Structure 1
Amino acid sequence: MAREVNERRIALDILTEMGKSDSYQKSAVKLALNKYDFLEAKQKAFIKYLAEGTIERQITLDYVIGQFSKTPIKKMAKPILYILRMGTFQILYMDSVPDSAAVNEAVKLTAKIHFVGLKGFVNGVLRNISRNKDEIAWPDPGKSKESKIQFLSVRFAEPLWLSKMFLENYGFKKTEEIFRFFLKPRPVTVRFSCRFSNEQLREILLKMKRANNGTIVMKPSPLLHYAMNLYHTDNITYLPGFDEGAFMVQDVSSMLVTEVAGLKKGDTVIDVCAAPGGKSLHAADVLKDTGKVISRDISENKCIIIRENVMRMGLNNVVVEDYDAEKHDPSLENKADVLYCDLPCSGLGIIGRKPDIKMNTDLNSIMNLQTMQRKILSSVWNYVKPGGTLIYSTCTMTKQENQENYKWILENLPFEAVSIEDRLPNQMKTIDTVGAGYIQLIPGEFDTDGFFIAKFRRKENS
């Protein structure tokens, strides 16, 4: 007998779990979907879209609810606020859900969680939003900086401080483009292993096309020949080729780290902050069972994930170690031909994939991250052999974590910048800074995440 579930109740449980902490955890969505893995793909997609969309659009949803509720949001019971957010999200952003269904299901859910006395309140607010959704008084960008910040924040559900930072760094038009990209549904991007022959990969691709009842759409990346964008996927671990290690989930921007590094067979690569291991495994794949990749992370749980990926991908030249990058390891001095410093960062370049990031970050934490990044760089720089390569990268877009750290490395460590023009896809070679040895990818500009990559060579006499 099939188990009956209420998708909206599961989404509410996810929001409740996420709301228990001051720090939003996207893992709550993954844990819930794993728990309900017996559901059909369509049901899981509905739960994921509703839960993540409600979190992603929270600022906008609260703005709208505030216009139609006499009770201030701060005075609402958390479960009722979550139900109102979910209902408003369905009304404004889910065309597949009739407004009447969004309202009625919200009222039923209110009763199920024992708030029967508030059914009329939930019904009234959501029906009012439904009737007047084309008349919502959105902020006007106007001419002042303050009005533009308010407009960007409300329309694209970004915090005021982030809207202000992006407006100052990129201007109004470019910030609008970036924020629109963050809200755009993104494919799952995978990197195919070069251990597989073209014939083997063709066979895997044919099987993938037939997976999920033939609903998967596959589009090759225009930037890297071994990257593929997958649309309408369910659980990626069920796809043909996953268990065999034919591919790993990784954005093209992340793949560019190994492209820029320019690895040679026999190289020793040290990755000091490696989890979940995408760059380490990419390096090991390119080395084709030669050389050695030392893949480290501070957390044993993260190292377990890296080891699982190493085993699945069938790589024999990777050593995974639990180690704190802030602590210098004398045994690694002068051992690395290439050192990967893809350091913990604010993650502002990947908000489109992890919308909870914008709820977890602020200006103070960015400055603290810069301090930690420089501490790690000071600890690990001499793992690089004289003449060897240091790759510094982040998945963010702040000058403090990127351009300022680039200058800091040149001014405080014995390294010189190396042009990366010859290591980039043709579409990126015209970016002004590639000759100076770094690139700041803007989200959406090449249909990739926001990312920063800089390449340095250790001076021979250092």
Structure 2
Amino acid sequence: MAKRTDRGLENREIVLDILMEVLERGSFVHMVLNQALDKYQYLDKADRAFITRLTEGTLEYLIQIDAIINQYSKTKTQKMKPVIRNLLRLSVYQILYMDRVPDSAVCNEAVKLAAKRRFEGLKGFVNGVLRTIAREKGTIAFSEPWLELSLPQWMYEMWERQYGAGTATAMGKAFLKDKKTTVRCNLQALSRELPGISPEEAWERTAESLREQGVEAAPLGDGLFNLSGYDRLEELSAFARGWIQVQDASSAMVGRLAAPKRGDYVIDVCAAPGGKSLHIADLLDGTGMVEARDLTFQKAELIEENIRRCGFENIRAVVMDALWEDEESVEKADLLIADLPCSGLGILGKKPDIKQNMTQEKMKELADLQRQILSVVWRYVKPGGRLIYSTCTVDSMENEENARWFAGNFPFEPVDLRPALEPRFPVESLKEGWIQFLPGIHPMDGFFISVFTRKNA
């Protein structure tokens, strides 16, 4: 039992270090968490799952947690020592949302960790705040919907204006639900090992491989699966062999709506880590070429890693700034993918630190950057070719407003998406060439896709 308790303290200390890196130094949670899980590979599956849930849960509910701490502490979170405020945060999450560990054990472990981090003088403070919250947690209530959903007030009110209170609430609730990993089958990779295999057979063979390793693989259709019950993705045979690629159902819509033709030359101007580029290369069935570009060598290497793992030969990674005009690419692309840097508000459930880092000012800057990039890259599209503009956000300024601006200022016309998406998604915007997917309304991440054809004149 003592060993289990010591392990619990170590796990909480790992989470504390992750939160310090993310909340005090501004690092990205998915990167810091992955690095920690790689570093502590010796931990068993249950410990790694605990670390993941406690980290992500604390960040998901951070706004709500801080409001609760501030209600029961005379010293407000922003005035506390960084170690103490993050120790309280991860402990409050356990008290409110994790049932397996008794509240008394959570309080005791927090006191031990405060002492271990040389805050002996604050042990009583930590203990008092946590035990009061544990005692009164049944009476805690929130008068504001944004607090109930643990969203920044400005963000909830923006969605309320754009979509209405019902949809804003549905999105907030969706972001707080457990997230499964969505993967897409790479038919080229399976065909290389199993020549002549049909798409349906490939999907079934992939599901069998995953289940053989104890992974629950729930089919979503069109070769997509929701995965759960695995520890490290890299340990799955289907992943190592390139049979699957992590990609949400909304992101996979880009390839389907792009509808590449055999032999097409495709440019993806902001491609890392390469999910959409690989999907289009897969749809090209070994023909044509996809040039997956991104700004830095590090991002290009991420794409290269996926290319090597999947074994595709009709895709290459290139380091290139999308704002730099590449004269050699003018009117060369049959298809151009512009999945551009955005506020990421559609994937808050997967990257909850965006809630703390994003501001309305940054969103305006990103919307302007998107226009700058589109003003450069449109020239790469052949007359009659297609351009896809997409983002992983749910902000109208970055999405439909920019799509309408693009259609009004460049020689492109929107593609009617009704034949491709009706009756599954019967929305008015399809005839204008765009669709906005909303978490809680659609069974996928928040995502925006618009499709244009370059005029021949």
1:98 aligns with 102
| 8 Å contact kept, 1:294–1:320 | yes
Is 1:156 aligned to 2:160, yes or no?
Answer: no
| 8 Å contact kept, 2:186–2:282 | yes
| 8 Å contact kept, 1:262–1:423 | no
Deviation at 1:255, TM superposition (A): 0.4
Helix, strand or coil for the counterpart of 1:241? helix
The one-letter amino acid of 1:274's match is: A
User: What TM-score, normalized to structure 1?
Assistant: 0.93
1:107 aligns with 111
| 8 Å contact kept, 1:333–1:383 | yes
2:273 aligns with 276
Distance 2:201 2:431 in 1: 38
Matches within 5 A, 1:216-227: 216-221=215-220, 224-227=221-224
- For residues 136 and 206 of structure 1, do their structure 2 counterparts lie closer, same or farther at Cα, with a shift above 3 Å needed? same
2:194 aligns with none
Distance 1:120 1:282 in 2: 55
Tell which deviates more after alignment, 295-304 or 74-83: 74-83
Distance 1:152 1:329 in 2: 48
> How many residues of Structure 1 are paired with residues of Structure 2 in the alignment?
443
Deviation at 1:153, TM superposition (A): 2.4
Percent identity, aligned pairs only? 44
Please point out which of 213, 236, 239 is paired with 2:236. Answer: 239
Deviation at 1:71, TM superposition (A): 2.0
Please point out which of 180, 184, 187 is paired with 2:180. Answer: 187
Deviation at 1:199, TM superposition (A): 4.6
Helix, strand or coil for the counterpart of 1:219? strand
| 8 Å contact kept, 1:397–1:440 | yes
Distance 1:309 1:337 in 2: 23
Distance 1:35 1:131 in 2: 36
Is 1:60 aligned to 2:60, yes or no?
Answer: no
Deviation at 1:57, TM superposition (A): 1.0
| 8 Å contact kept, 1:346–1:361 | yes
Please point out which of 434, 459, 462 is paired with 2:455. Answer: 459
1:323 aligns with 320
| 8 Å contact kept, 1:26–1:356 | no
Please point out which of 423, 436, 441 is paired with 2:437. Answer: 441
**Structure 2 alignment gaps of length 5 or more:** 191-196
Is 1:308 aligned to 2:305, yes or no?
Answer: yes
Is 1:210 aligned to 2:212, yes or no?
Answer: yes
| 8 Å contact kept, 1:204–1:240 | no
Helix, strand or coil for the counterpart of 2:292? strand
Helix, strand or coil for the counterpart of 1:367? helix
Distance 1:304 1:400 in 2: 32
| 8 Å contact kept, 2:249–2:444 | yes
Is 1:169 aligned to 2:138, yes or no?
Answer: no
| 8 Å contact kept, 1:23–1:360 | no
Distance 1:300 1:23 in 2: 19
| 8 Å contact kept, 2:435–2:450 | yes
Helix, strand or coil for the counterpart of 1:269? strand
Deviation at 1:207, TM superposition (A): 3.1
Is 1:120 aligned to 2:154, yes or no?
Answer: no
Distance 1:225 1:414 in 2: 33
Distance 1:264 1:24 in 2: 37
Helix, strand or coil for the counterpart of 1:400? coil
| 8 Å contact kept, 1:24–1:360 | no
Q: What whole-Å deviation, never above 9, does each CA across 1:15-73 have from its counterpart, x for those lacking one? A: 11223324654311111111001211111010011112112211100111111112222
Distance 1:389 1:71 in 2: 57
Matches within 5 A, 1:290-439: 290-424=287-421, 426-428=423-425, 430-439=426-435
User: What TM-score, normalized to structure 2?
Assistant: 0.94
| 8 Å contact kept, 1:307–1:320 | yes
Distance 2:422 2:281 in 1: 21
Is 1:27 aligned to 2:31, yes or no?
Answer: yes
| 8 Å contact kept, 2:69–2:76 | no
Please point out which of 36, 42, 47 is paired with 2:46. Answer: 42
Distance 2:417 2:202 in 1: 32
Tell which deviates more after alignment, 100-109 or 24-33: 24-33
